[in-house]
Structure 1
Amino acid sequence: MARISRRRPVRLVRRARSVSLGLMLSVAVVPAPGLAAPAPIPETTDDARRLPIPPVDRSNEPIVVMTGGTLIDGRGGAPIANAVVVTQGDRIIAAGPAGSVSVPVGAARIIDATGLFIMPGLIDLHIHFTQQRCHDFGRYSDSPAGAAIRGVALAEQLIGAGITAARDVGTVDDVALRIKEAVDRGIIRGPRVLWSGSIIATTGGHGDEVTSTATGRQKPAMGGPSKGFNGPWEWRTAVRRQVRGLADWVKLGAPADREEIVAAIEEAHSLGVPVAIDSYGQYTDWAIEAGVDTLEHPLAMSDQAVALMKKHGTAFVPTIGAFDNLLTGGYPTAGIPTGGFYHTHSRRFVIDQQEHLGKVAQAYRAGVPIGVGTDIPFENETRYPDAYFRELDYLSQAGMSNADVLASATRVGAQIMRMGDKLGTIEPGKIADILVLGANPLASLGNLRDVRYVLADGRLVVEQLPR
């Protein structure tokens, strides 16, 4: 659905004078096979579905200005000292050195960012809003309503840390969609949400097992009726149902037949929806060759997987911390021991942290796009947002420079999300998702924790005093 802000940013001091944006975004639409490329659509929904919407008049929306800060605009150039960033409504209308960008008369809010650092909002490409939290969750039965409440709490944690966009790659019912809508409508605080439905899996595959991947415990009533799909046409049908249900992405799980994987990817792409896969071994290679958009996790990757990713343009979301957690302490409150996966049919291999880091390093050297994703299944109340910053540290351990890690968390992440024309950099026409920090993140990634302001969709949603 469209993200059209009609609310004023928090704590605006006075109403902005009308200033016309004069901006119209042209979005390239991938044509269906056999059809000529259509003309660019001037205005679309701010998600991966890119549905046409009527032109949006932002000329009477409030103007927010940031002055004096050092701008790291995410485009790869040198930081800009004494910068000015101007937003109107949900869009950036100007950004650059103070000498080249004027402060509009009648700005609703002027933020003095002197001594601070301005950068694009962060992106988490692999979360599950419905995952468990709290040490005592085993005492309570679960439900979609309970999952939604947990998701709202997680959304608040993410936005407070400067994570302004998140991709949910597997939800309960339509919980992630409703969180997306609640953020869009201003009902709750949270990141921009792109979402997948439940994982499309074979009967008994990852996403349809009757035992927990983490504990091996049988699910109530043996997991209930199977939600698995079998054969290429059932996988195509599953994709169509998710697209019908407004999913931004499709998420596949392994094991599966090659024909099933190919059919699902082909079907999703024909409908203009990208695909992620949670996979391992030969299933990963099949998915890459079939054109999957993102590979989630570095699990049991073959020797040729990275070369295939480079050849086919596959992006990589390693989620290294999710597996290091298992190796270094498990999830005690969930009764998950240290060491790896146990009692699960779709995870019959050893987790090797150094091998994971090595695969990320190999992909980095090969030029494979690498994004940041966390995928924390339990104890969210204590592990977020720290898990995000730890994930950045893992990428550093794999040999990535601070600048490239920041790019993965912003510009590259937006491109992987299929939102590169709208998110990931600070430049005119982009959505105003902006993070202001107390110290230079290029000097130390740890400075990303020093959040002072967060603008999400042009709204000032976080304002914190210096620590």
Structure 2
Amino acid sequence: NKSGDRIFIYTREGEKVALASLGLKGEERRVHLLSENAETFLPSPNEQWVAVVERFNAYIAVFPPTGQPVNIGPTTTDYPIKRVTRDAAQYLNWTADSKKLFWSLGPELFSRDLTNTFGFVEGAKDTLQEKPDSVGLPIGFQIDTDVPSGSIALVGATVITMKGDEVLSNATILVEKNRIKAIGASSEVTVPPDAKRIDVSGHTIMPGMIDVHAHGNFGEWSPYTNWRYYANLAFGVTTMHDPSASTEMVFTNSEMINAGLMVGPRVYSTGTILYGAEGSFKAIVNNFDEAMSHLRRLKAVGAFSVKSYNQPRRDQRQQIVEAARNLKMMVVPEGGSTFFWNLSMVLDGHTGVEHNLPIAPLYDDVVRLISKSKTGLTPTLIVNYGGLSGEYYWYQNTKVWEHERLLKFTPRDLIDSRSRRRLMANEDDYSYMETSKSLKRVIDAKGKVQLGAHGQLQGLGAHWELWMLQQGGMTTLEALRCATLYGAEYLGLDKDLGSLEPGKLADLIVMEKNPVENIRNSEFIKYVMKNGRMYDGWTGDEIGNHPRKRVKFHWEE
């Protein structure tokens, strides 16, 4: 506080959140403000005002002058409180004289003078600002995207290009900087004398895997060496899309990776979900304007997709879809294991449906609806609805706790706690297999299915998901296409990712065995290239034109 003898704390008081204060030794606890859902309380330096963030928006209120706590919220009418943001606020701060509040949203800085907000303050304007500002002061900056110099030629491999069913024998891929310059038979591709030549004879190359439902739990002890990123890279996942993540953390990490300040896959995300159930981060959508506000705030910080999650009414979900059309964004909803919600999502034009439809088998009417609508299905068989999930099948049938590559990039305690004391069940208890058979029917009907591993075990889970897609009857190439090209198409990135073609970004996997011969060979990875940089699949060290050792993880220190 301004006197230096008390500390303000954010705490709980019964069923409500509270702004309280304590003496320096923890004595004399006082509760000043109570709220149903406030996420932030920020008293002004003179302790006459307080900024409150509730359900994303910022409000300014009078700091209670008495010792009695005051209940405040967005609908409060009997106490001085004013909303000052249109869509959302992050990183609030008061000026030293307590006369102005600053906040940011994405690349813009906003502010509000008290004299423009309350008529009873000294120097108040004759006409107060009623509508929050829609445009702030630009404070963003630009930095070059990381692009490695030099060229690399991968010579002599079998190449699964994902251009139809094309598989090239004894082929060469020439990478210049971060894009594929040439690809074809080794006898037809000219390798420049200054290119680093890597002999990959006897190996198989395919595009990097794209995990479109990859929960990364972003935020680690050492932000520059996030083991989850490395684990995914080591297993060949070169692109991740997280449909539920901390908005502030995930887009920060994404930009740091793009700038070359962190190592990891390409990271995309919805940010925080548009949650329809009760809670402090509930996204209230009762009209089109509210839907637009939620999508604007997420687009401002870097999202090109949003996750509509448990919005209970169909008209709410439709308003989000319409807002997304206006802002040119994707909507990737989750139906909460509710079949009729899923069908309405398909009918209403959502980009896709995250998690499996909870009923299997699917019959012709539903299969035709999904395929004709071009709605992408991300079944996440690893956490399959409607029965025993796929994750447990692999704990039962493989010794996960002995997996060398996984142990290299994942803390031992996390692996042991999930895999050692295994659930054992009959194979016909694993309902994901029926789901997988229905996915094959969708593929046969020219529908689209893409891979999503849900972050259950970083990296390895993507291979489990791939194998489970094939267990339902897909051909190996069909399953691999779900893990690569279809994921790129789903995210709108197929002009640059998803297949190995001249001009596309150089994201690829070099495998010691051929997954076309046995799909379980997909995990035998020797090298991973992401954005033209080559990494050793066993160590995480960068090799190629710019060799550097991986920084140790916290458990290796």
TM-score of the pair, normalised by structure 2: 0.60
- Equivalent position to 1:245, from 275, 278, 301: 301
Q: Distance in 1 between matches of 2:255 and 2:144?
A: 20
Preserved CA contact (<8 Å) 1:130 1:150: no
Counterpart for residue 200 of structure 2: 113
Residue 80 of structure 2 is matched in structure 1 by none
**For 1:148-159, what aligned pairs fall within 5 Å after superposition?**
152-159=226-233
1:281 aligns with 2:339: yes
User: Structure 1 residue 419: deviation in Å?
Assistant: 0.7
Partner residue in 1 for 2:253: 179
Equivalent in the alignment of 2:99 = none
The 5 Å alignment of 1:217-228 reads 225-228=280-283
Map of 1:361 onto structure 2: 440
Query: Structure 1 residue 266 and structure 2 residue 354: aligned?
Result: no
After superposition, where does 1:63-78 map in structure 2 within 5 Å? 63-78=151-166
Corresponding residue for residue 493 of structure 2: 419
Deviation (angstroms), 1:242: 1.0
Task: Summarize the alignment of residues 314-325 of structure 1 with structure 2, pairs less than 5 Å apart.
Answer: 314-323=375-384, 324-325=389-390
Q: CA deviation at 1:55?
A: 12
Q: Which residue is equivalent to 2:174?
A: 86
Letter of the 1:283 partner, please give it. Answer: W
In the TM superposition, residue 413 of structure 1 has moved relative to its aligned partner by 1.6
Give 1:371's aligned residue.
Answer: 450
Answer yes or no: is the 8 Å Cα contact 1:65–1:85 preserved in 2: yes
- Deviation, 1:226, is 4.4
Structure 1 pair 408/197, CA: closer, same or farther in 2 (3 Å)? same
Deviation for aligned residue 1:462: 2.5
Q: Is the 1:293–1:314 contact (alpha carbons within 8 Å) kept by the matching residues of 2? A: yes
Give the deviation of 1:351 after TM superposition: 9.5
1:442 to partner: Cα distance: 0.5
Q: Deviations over 1:176-209 (max 9, x none)?
A: 21221222122222111121111112233xxx5x
- Length, aligned pairs only: 364
CA gap of 1:269–1:67, structure 2 versus 1, over 3 A, is same
CA distance in 2, matches of 1:151, 1:266: 39
Structure 2 counterpart of 1:112, one-letter code: D
Q: 1:398 to 1:83 in 2, by over 3 A?
A: same
Contact 2:470 2:479 in 1 (8 A): yes
Is 1:124–1:374's contact at 8 Å kept on the other side of the alignment? yes
Aligned-partner SS, 1:80 = strand
Deviation of 1:325 (Å): 5.0
Q: What displacement does 1:356 show?
A: 2.4
Paired residue secondary structure (1:174): helix
* Amino acid in structure 2 at the alignment position of 1:71: V
1:412–1:147 Cα change, 3 Å: farther
Q: Do 1:69 and 1:83's aligned partners in 2 also have CA atoms closer than 8 Å?
A: yes
Q: Which has the larger radius of gyration?
A: 2
Q: Which residue of 1 aligns with 2:351?
A: 293
Quick check: 1:151–1:179 contact (8 Å CA) kept in 2? no
Conservation of the 8 A alpha-carbon contact between 1:118 and 1:436:
yes
Aligned to 1:98: 186
Kindly provide the CA deviation profile for residues 311-340 of structure 1, in whole angstroms up to 9, marking residues without a partner as x.
211011110012315776899959xx979x
Q: Secondary structure at the match of 2:474?
A: coil
User: Quick one: distance in 2 between partners of 1:174 and 1:74?
Assistant: 35
Query: Is the contact between residue 216 and residue 455 of structure 2 (CA under 8 Å) also seen in structure 1?
Result: no
The one-letter amino acid paired with 2:305 is: W
SS at match of 1:99: coil
Q: CA deviation at 1:407?
A: 1.1
Q: Percent identity?
A: 25
Q: Are the counterparts in 2 of residues 119 and 434 from structure 1 also a CA contact under 8 Å?
A: yes
Question: Alignment partner for residue 448 of structure 1, among 503, 507, 522?
Answer: 522
Shift in Å at residue 262 of structure 1? 1.2
- How has the CA–CA distance of structure 1 residues 235 and 148 changed in structure 2, closer, same or farther, with 3 Å as cutoff? farther
Deviations 1:21-72 (A, max 9, x none): xxxxxxxxxxxxxxxxxxxxxxxxxxxxxxxx999998x9311111111122
- Partner SS state of residue 231, structure 1: coil
Say which SS state the counterpart of residue 426 (structure 1) adopts: coil
Q: CA, structure 1 residues 405+358, in 2 after alignment: closer, same or farther (shift >3 Å)?
A: closer
CA RMSD of aligned residues (A): 3.3
Cα distance in structure 2, aligned partners of 1:415 and 1:54? 27
Residue identity matched to 1:118:
I
Q: Is the 8 A contact 1:170 1:198 kept in 2?
A: yes
Tell me if the contact between 1:200 and 1:228 (Cα under 8 Å) persists in the aligned partners. Answer: yes
SS at match of 2:488: helix
Deviation at 1:78, TM superposition (A): 3.7
Equivalent residue number for residue 122 of structure 1: 209
Aligned letter for 1:130? Answer: N
Which consecutive residues of structure 1, in runs of 5 or more, have no partner in the other structure?
A: 1-52, 132-144, 209-224, 340-349, 378-382
When the two structures are superposed, what TM-score results if normalisation uses the length of structure 1? 0.71
Q: CA shift at 1:167, angstroms?
A: 0.7
CA contact (8 A) 1:130 1:175 kept: no
Q: Is 1:310 aligned with 2:376? A: no
- 2:461 paired with 1:387: yes
The answer to which of 392-401 and 299-308 deviates more is 299-308
Taking a change above 3 Å as real, the CA distance of residues 92 and 354 of structure 1, as seen in their structure-2 partners, is: closer
Distance 1:265 1:147, change over 3 A: farther
Say if 2:150 is the partner of 1:62. yes
Higher strand share: 2
Q: 1:282: Cα distance to partner?
A: 2.0
